[in-house]
Amino acid sequence: MKRALPFILLLAGTAAMYLLMPYNLAFATRILVMGIFVLSIDLVLGFAGIATLGQAAMYGAGAYAAALFAAHAWAEPVAGLAVGAAAGAVVALLSGLVLMRASGLTLIMLTIAVAALLAETANRARDLTGGADGLRVAFGPVLGLWEFDFIGQTGFCYAAAVGACVLGLLALVARSPFGLSLRGLQSSPARMAAIGAPVYPRRVAAYTLGGAIAGIAGALSAQVAGLVSLETFSFTLSAEALVMLILGGTGRLWGALLGTVLFMFAHHYAAAADPFNWLFAIGALVMVVVFVLPGGLLSLPGALKGGRHD
Amino acid sequence: MTLLLNIALDGIAYGMILFLVAVGLSVTMGLMRVVNLAHGGFALMGGALAHWAGADLGLGFWPALACAILGTVALALPLERLVYRRIYGFGELQQVLATIGLTFIVIAAVNRWQGSALLPVPLPETLSRTVDLGFRTLPAHRIAVILCGLGVILGLWLLLDRTRFGIRLRAAVDNRAIASAHGIVTDRIYMATFGLGAALAALGGVLGAELLPVDAYYPLRYMVLFLMVVAVGGMGSVTGSFAAALGLGITETAARYLVPDMATFAFYGIVILVLALRPQGLMGRIA
Amino acid sequence: MTEGLVVRGLSKRFGGLVVSDGLDFDLPPGARKALIGPNGAGKSTFANLVTGIHAPSSGSIRFDGADISDMDETARVRLGIAKTFQITTLFTGLTVRENLRLAVLERERRGFRLFCRADGDPEVEAEIAALMDQLALEPLADRVVERLAYGQQRLVELAMTLALKPRVLILDEPAAGVPGSETHLITDAIEALPADLAVLIIEHDMELVFRVARSIVVLVAGRILTEGTPAQIASDPQVRELYLGGAHG
Ligand SMILES: Nc1ncnc2c1ncn2[C@@H]1O[C@H](COP(=O)(O)OP(=O)(O)OP(=O)(O)O)[C@@H](O)[C@H]1O
Ligand SMILES: [Mg+2]
């Protein structure tokens, strides 16, 4: 029963968003997309301990790949998701072959540089991507059945379904031998090597899987908005998603989702009212979490009880 | 030939500006081993203070610059005590996050105080003239920046390599415990070094404003640029930052002249190449 | 087949410091050797060279006839050369059981499996339980390692290496930091090891050395001073001088 509780809450929350925000479904959908993206960072950083500020590289790659695929080949969205996932995985694999040898600050810098390089590529390939104007694409009905509608009902349900699949997949991975080995990598690479685990290939594999999921998030964002912009590669996106993850708590899937929901709502309402006070609040919050609550909000109940989370 | 000279001159000027705005970061991040994403925040403090001193107090350029540097240091020292001292021992990621948080707060504060518009600092007569070099003209301001950059690197070299403070700083960084056992007050050294980094940030913010204009979002806009210069140069090496800033500046400028579309590629391409081949940076020591 | 581990002319320099100086060393299957010597003699460095944590400056390491000098650590572990760390190196955020599970799964090359449960194999779980039983770790099974006492962590360190079922086992000061009342767990575990396993134990605790070792190598300043049976070493005047002369820390 206790294990099912988060699922029930999640389901109820998603349903509530759908019912309570009928005229704001675009925003609710963005939360779902962001949730998937933050989950991808959680896998890479929270589980495998790979510090990154450039996850947007794979998000953007997925978004552009899905849009271009729809514009030039096939406009069916689920196929587009697969293309987005493949694009994210390829970018992560190729860059990961270089990046996963680095660590610490160098690694963080390299992840930023890769995203910046891709952003510039998309910016220059204006004929293909529309450059700074972005790329507008009409997607066909999902599985040939459900048209994207003006209010965004299809978009929301579609994003929720994709999110559920990704969450289910990651829940499986988290409990698998692979997931356990990622936690091992994060905890002690030296011990991993000493038990005969191939550290570098394992890190590349984790980064690639994370890249595929970020690619799915990017593709989904393109499909529900019908638009891709250079923003999908931006440093701000990577940094904000990281902040969401830290707020909720790294290394736990629920932490990623909790952080995303809180951040997105706070951002939506507070930032609309006063962008600079919002920045102040989020800055203070991040510092509080880093100093006082390193396990994120998800560790708050445990910290209050003085006990340890399970 | 003229093209080459142009590239060299503009490249050096740009590189010097990069160096001036990044060298403070090289000091805090390179020497003190703290990933300081809030560096741009201190440059912004400097820029905002200089703007305020010039526009609201009616001070001239030089007094405004002095006011900016002193004011930034005065703000930085308490921050070192309250925030930075607690994150020296953290992992890179925690440092990244804490200093991003601090950056947000600085941005919000400056905006509350001065608004979100550009915060220009008018140049004095002597610096706004152009100088005729025979084959082309160059703003006096650029020449001043180049000289200033040379002065800073020379000054830092003297300070770090030739004074007791420098020796103590390096001892404190290499091994805090041993340094304190030798009676070196590491806390104070860290504070002084941090103050130095902040002062250099303010100086760079004001002097570099011609190419990297200052407004409230300055720290976020140029954060990556500063970090790249320091990472490529190598942690713990001011000369490395100098070489990296000039190298990156000249590369990007050359690309702008020769293949304008490729300038940004060239910049990030070099960054990735250097860091992939030498993860510790050009002149960094292997950890 | 008596080959096992064969080391010839192995040297290691850190900058200008020569830490291993032309070492020749054999560790055939079934061996029970001890490596002793004063602090800083280069014992841990030797172990790190053999397991591939450090690359040698010169010399060769062969295992069962094959040259493994250029193999990385992972490949050597997979061949069956494993060691415990002098400074405990564990997955501190995981429980004792998870630590061991990870070691067993990696030994079985299952680390890339995505779609089954890590704790879903009864055979693996039974093996973990047996290991914990052997080292009296059961009561701590579900405790997070970073919360254990240092001596308990040392036992987990040993268990991690045993979980790999190695063919060559190098123990770098396994008993350092373990309370005297629990050192018997370590000696018992070593005595219970399969007879054909080659064991090298680095240790300052002479009582333990004399109990488990059939042959002792003395390392001083990166060179092998002498090698012999425990009785020979105990009566060797050079060794007596070394240890009674106060060099032993
Ligand atoms: N990575 C390294 N870089 C430089 N010097 C090192 C390194 N590792 C070890 N040393 C030096 O090599 C020498 C031998 O160290 P080692 O750890 O092998 O000694 P040991 O015999 O295991 O000593 P102890 O009994 O204290 O464990 C020491 O002087 C040490 O400072
Ligand atoms: Mg040792």
| Band (B60; pLDDT cuts 50, 70, 90) | confident
Q: Do chains B and C touch (3 or more CB pairs under 8 A)?
A: no
Are B97 and A104 within 8 A, CB to CB?
Answer: no
Residue-wise over C206-243: b if at least 16 C-beta within 10 A, else e? bebbeebbebbbbbbebebbebeebeebeebeebeebb
What is the number of structural domains in chain C?
Answer: 1
Two tokens, residue C29: 């299957």
Mean pLDDT score across all residues of chain A: 88
Ligand 1 atom closest to residue C204's alpha carbon, by position in its atom list: 25
Closest ligand 1 atom number to CA of residue C54: 1
Confidence of residue A273 (pLDDT cuts 50, 70, 90): confident
Dihedral of CA B69/B72/B74/B78: which sign? negative
The Cα A62–Cα A83 span in angstroms is 7
List ligand 1's pocket residues with C-beta within 6 A. C 14, 17, 19, 37, 39-45, 86
- Tell me if A252 is assigned to some domain: no
Q: Residue B4: exposed, middle, or buried by beta-carbon count in 10 A (0-12, 13-18, 19+)?
A: exposed
Per-residue confidence (pLDDT) for residue A201, from 0 to 100: 96
Q: Which CATH architecture has domain B2-277?
A: Orthogonal Bundle (1.10)
Residues of chain B found within 8 Å of residue A98, distances taken between Cβ atoms? 272, 276
Residue C218 — φ and ψ, nearest 5°?
A: -105, 125
Rounded (to 5) percent helix, strand, coil in chain A: 75, 0, 20
The CA distance from C92 to C152, in Å, is 12
Residue C37: domain span: 5-244
Mean pLDDT of A179-191: 95
Inspect the interface and report whether the beta carbons of B102 and A287 lie closer than 8 Å: yes
Q: Which amino acid is at B189?
A: I
How many angstroms is it from C239 CA to the middle of ligand 2? 19
Pairwise pLDDT comparison (B29 vs A257), residue with the higher score = A257
The CA distances from residue A152 to A23, A29, A33, B287, C185, in Å, are: 9, 8, 14, 52, 66
Residue C190 within a domain: yes
User: Beta strand pairing status for C32-36 and C17-27?
Assistant: unpaired
Mean pLDDT across the stretch C17-37? 93
Ligand nearest the Cα of residue C40 is: 1
Show the tokens assigned to B144: 């001043």
CB contact under 8 A, A180 and C114: no
| Residue A147 touches partner B, C-beta closer than 8 Å | no
Task: List pLDDT tens digits, range A31-53.
Answer: 999 999 999 999 999 999 999 99
Q: Which of A191, A208, A209, A299 to mutate to test the interface with C (most CBs of C within 10 A)?
A: A191
pLDDT (0 to 100) of residue A286:
87
Strands C215-220 and C223-228, bridge-based pairing: antiparallel
Neighbours of A244 (CB within 10 A): 27
Distance, in Å, from the CA atom of B48 to the CA atom of B121, rounded to the nearest integer, reads 9
pLDDT at residue C172 is higher than 90: yes
With respect to residue C249, please indicate whether it lies within any of the assigned structural domains.
no
Query: Which pLDDT score, from 0 to 100, does residue C245 have?
Result: 59
Chain A CB contacts of C112 under 8 Å are: 177-178, 202, 205
Per-residue pLDDT, averaged over C4-30, amounts to: 92
Q: What is the mean pLDDT of chain C?
A: 91
Angstrom distance (rounded) from CA A196 to CA A178: 14
Q: Could you read off the pLDDT of A220-236 as tens digits, one per residue?
A: 999 999 899 999 999 88
Query: A35, A91, A43, A89: which is closest to A241 by C-alpha?
Result: A35
Residue-level pLDDT at A103? 84
- pLDDT, averaged across chain B: 85
Chain C residues closer than 8 Å to A188 by CB: 89-92
Please answer yes or no on whether A180 and C85 come within 8 Å at the CB atom. no
CA distance B214 to C145: 50
Query: Which residues in chain A have their CB less than 8 angstroms from residue B256's CB?
Result: none
Residues A28, C15: Cα–Cα separation, whole Å: 59
- Is B82 in the A-facing interface, judged by CB distances under 8 Å? no
Q: What is the pLDDT of residue B52?
A: 93
Residue A203 has pLDDT above 80, yes or no: yes
Give me the pLDDT at residue A167, please.
93
pTM of the prediction?
0.89
Segment A195-207 shows an average pLDDT of 95
Chain B: give the shortest CA distance to residue A21, in Å: 30
B233: pLDDT strictly greater than 90: no
Among A134-138, A187-191, A258-262, B280-284, the least confident range:
B280-284
How would residue B65 be classed by pLDDT, with cut points 50, 70 and 90?
very high
Distance of CA B36 to the CA centre of its chain: 11
Distance between CA atoms of residues A102 and A201, nearest Å: 13
**pLDDT: is B125 or B109 the higher one?**
B109
Query: For B93-104, what is each residue's pLDDT tens digit?
Result: 888 889 989 999
Tally of domains in chain A: 1
Work out the average pLDDT over C69-90: 94
Average pLDDT of span B244-267: 85
Task: Of C221, C224, C242, give the one whose Cα is nearest residue C17.
Answer: C221
Asked if the structure places residue A75 within a domain, the reply is: yes
Find the CATH number of the domain harbouring C100. 3.40.50.300
**How high is the pLDDT of residue A196?**
93
The pair phi, psi for residue B57, each rounded to 5°, is -95, -15
Looking at residue C244, its pLDDT comes to 63
Higher-pLDDT residue of A83 and B87 is A83
**Type of residue numbered C3:** E
Residues 6+ apart with CB under 8 A from C40: none
Q: Report the percentage of chain A scoring pLDDT > 70.
A: 97
CB A25, CB A151: distance < 8 Å: yes
pLDDT at A308 over 50: no
What is the predicted pLDDT for the residue at B184? 66
Q: Is C102's CB within 8 Å of A188's CB?
A: no
Measured in whole angstroms, how far is the alpha carbon of residue B103 from the centre of its chain?
Answer: 15
Nearest-5° Cα angle at A103, A97 to A109? 85
Q: What is the pLDDT of residues B143-172, one digit of tens each?
A: 888 898 899 989 988 888 888 888 887 777
pLDDT band at C37 (very low <50, low <70, confident <90, very high): very high
Checking if the pLDDT of C143 tops 70, the result is: yes
**pLDDT tens digits, A132-148:** 888 888 887 888 778 87
Higher pLDDT among residues C62 and C249, named by residue = C62
How far apart are the CA of B91 and the nearest CA of chain A, in angstroms? 8
Distance (Å, whole) CA A232 – CA A220: 12
Average pLDDT over residues B262-268: 83
Judged against a pLDDT cut of 50, whether residue A307 lies above it is answered with no
pLDDT of residue B90: 85
Average pLDDT, integer, range B225-229: 85
Alpha-carbon span A117 to A128, nearest angstrom: 16
Write down the pLDDT at residue B258.
87
Confidence of residue C248 (pLDDT cuts 50, 70, 90): very low
Is A195 close to C107, i.e. CB distance below 8 A?
Answer: yes
Looking at residue B145, what is its pLDDT? Answer: 87
Q: What mean pLDDT is predicted for residues B134-145?
A: 82
Looking at ligand 1, which residue's alpha carbon is closest to its atom 29?
C40
Q: What is the pLDDT of residue A309?
A: 42
Which one is predicted more confidently, B8 or C95?
Answer: C95
